[in-house]
Structure 1
């Protein structure tokens, strides 16, 4: 049996176990399934027949690398529609100062979102941008409602702290430091 045949047989036989382990790393059973499916396809194109000491570890590492590449290729980043919705919230009648301030806040919010985990970002967008209920989000990501609430709370707190830090930085650099009165 070739290495590819052995790895494919192992992936088929241990699929549930591998998906469970990968779900813990990726935060989503759906993403884990996608990564394992892509792993199956890539095994077909594999050209090496070097022996593998631990087939499970090899398959998990391969799937995790695939998921990481997919993440970097923006499959988990905000879509163009999501970004447009976030940017277009500025009031058409706003004065220039408000418009600049809102655009800057939007940029900072987008930066803050990139600091969240994939699951936190997805939950925050689903709840706050799309208005989905926590129960529906929990069902979609196959987690408990309390997990959704916790992740949402953490994500909101992080974004709030990040935005405050950015606001303080912009204010200090724009106005300079003020001396205390004597």
Structure 2
């Protein structure tokens, strides 16, 4: 069959949408998840070249949907391993006390001021190290300075922040 004569894969999906959702609901056990997978199938089919030769378009659409459903099930299983209902904290219990919130905000304000007081290059190195999580070697390479200079900037910034926070540190 010539590509112009056959219906597009997206058209096949829309023609068999209800069958596909029923099939996916049985596989996934949830109509909402089935509709999500059907939507992902539609998105995936948009990237299939129109001149791709497909012997059985309906089977092809269902196979793509099945593959996406398997990925969905794996993702859910992985998520379930790391988040169990017993580990989900009770929101009211885990909220910090108001005086702790005020204390943390004061510390954060002092820390922000201390970082702002640093010389520009020292501040840049410190932020790259602490917030961008770059190694000393990566920072040195990016800024064109020696690793030793990066270490000196980080040590200077830490000492300055420590002295500004003073006895507020635990």
TM-score over 0.5 (shorter chain) = no
Larger radius of gyration: 2
Q: Could you tell me the TM-score, scaled by structure 2's length?
A: 0.42
TM superposition score normalised by structure 1: 0.39
